[in-house]
Amino acid sequence: MKLAFQLAYKNLVGAGLRTWLNVGVLAFSFIIIIFYNGLIDGWNEQAKHDSIAWEYGNGQLLHADYDPFDPFTILDGHGVLENELSKNLAPILLRQASIYPEGRMFSVALKGIDVNQTTLKLPTASLKNSNAKIPAMMGINMADAANLKKGDEVLLRWRDQGGTFDAAKITVVDIFETNVPTVDMGQVWIPIRKMWEMTGLENHTTFYVANENFQPSNISGWKYQSQETLLSDLNEIIAMKKISGSIMYLLLLAIALLAIFDTQVLSVFRRQKEIGTYISLGMTRAQVVGLFTVEGSMYSIFAMILGSIVGIPLFAYLAKIGIGMPAASRDMGVPLAERIFPVFGIQLIVGTILLVVIASTIVSFLPARKIAKMNPVLALKGKLQ
């Protein structure tokens, strides 16, 4: 085997441009596969991190009648949890409401939150420190959509516990930047105590966000959703993104492997005399098949080296500065930062290397099998068709 590697190395280096073209294409595939997966993994990490920090915390305790996917449950999906049980939980009361910036009506989800909470990254201290009668905050996308800025007042209309409409002016005291659209778009955040006053739903909560000290237990009238459950939708989206991305890079890999396959088929045909010479010098057919297979798989080893020379500094740079995402892509409904920092893990790199090396070995072996059936006399004469 050592001999096969020695000879394959010499043959490939000796083949010159033909080798380096194949190596170049394969190295490009390496880089693209690792880059794309690194980007998705980076997005995955960032999206999970931000979702936990801004929305999910360590899990959520939902009122049994509240279904986040059914807006009709908002009206009655709330209740009161004993103080003892609500330790390590940040309460959020959700009501449907409307705001009227510049006379236009915007339906919003009005969310009352404990201004002292520290579980979520939402800047609730702004609400606490404000002297406004009804301080409110919202995400930057919501503010842009409603054309509101810090200090603006806007009319809010909501229903109280009896279903009666009420209205008052709220003051925008903070506009926060977040990558999590589900705490931004169509949402207005106010202090929960103020909301209790406004709705008459004293101490009522739609759901709680748990911090890391919360120990889930069965609480009658409430249902607990773990962080993992809450992230499952996000995981599904990312998995789908990976599958669609993998089609792209499999096509790219297929082109690179096709180039190797094509080279191998041509090699077996064009190098008949060489094959005959190897056999006449005492190589067994199996050794010659092995040599050609190793030559093919060595393309991937060279590509790995070339890919490392180009890829390592490139990936290190990208992992440091991140990749800017276009603003339009934030409308996808999933947490997407302005810059994604790709994550190039060992598992991804080793997995990609193994995939490419194994695939290139297989596509090299397939044409090389012909050698085993070659008549060395005809091969020496170069008369095989």
**Contact in structure between 25 and 263 (CB atoms under 8 Å):** no
Q: Which of 68, 69, 143 is nearest to 99 (CA)?
A: 143
CB of 21 to another protein, least distance (A): 16
- When asked if residue 285 is in the footprint of another protein (CB under 8 A), the reply is yes
Q: Please tell me what DSSP assigns to residue 55.
A: I
* Nearest to another protein of 15, 145 (CB atom): 15
Site for another protein in 33-72 (CB under 8 A): none
In this structure, what token pair is assigned to residue 57? 């915390």
- Using CB under 8 A, which residues numbered 358 to 377 contact another protein? 375-377
- Binding to another protein, residues 2-21 (CB under 8 A): 3, 6-7, 10-11, 13-15
- Cβ proximity to another protein, 193 vs 370, nearer residue: 370
Separation CA 327–CA 336 (nearest Å): 9
Number of chain residues interacting with another protein (CB under 8 A) = 25
Alpha carbon 99 to chain centroid, angstroms: 34
User: Of 223-282, which residues contact another protein (CB under 8 A)?
Assistant: 273-274, 276-277, 279-282
Cβ closest to another protein, residue 246 vs residue 277: 277
In whole angstroms, give the CA distance from residue 355 to residue 362: 11
Residue number, 5 or 100, with CB nearest to another protein: 5
> C-alpha 143: how far from its chain's center?
26
What is the smallest separation between the CB atom of 269 and another protein, expressed in angstroms?
Answer: 16
Q: HSE of 258 in the Cβ direction (CA atoms, 13 Å)?
A: 6
350 near another protein (CB under 8 A): no
Nearest to 140 by CA among 106, 166, 177, 180: 177
* Options 155, 348, 380, 384; binder of another protein; rule CB under 8 A: 380
- What's the closest the beta carbon of residue 385 comes to another protein, in angstroms? 14
For another protein, the closer CB: 61 or 371: 371
Residues 150-155: contacts with CB under 8 Å, at least 24 apart:
150/174, 150/175, 152/101, 154/99, 154/100, 154/101, 155/99, 155/100
Q: Measured from the CB atom, is 51 or 264 closer to another protein?
A: 264
Query: Which residues lie near another protein (CB under 8 A)?
Result: 3, 6-7, 10-11, 13-15, 273-274, 276-277, 279-287, 375-377, 380
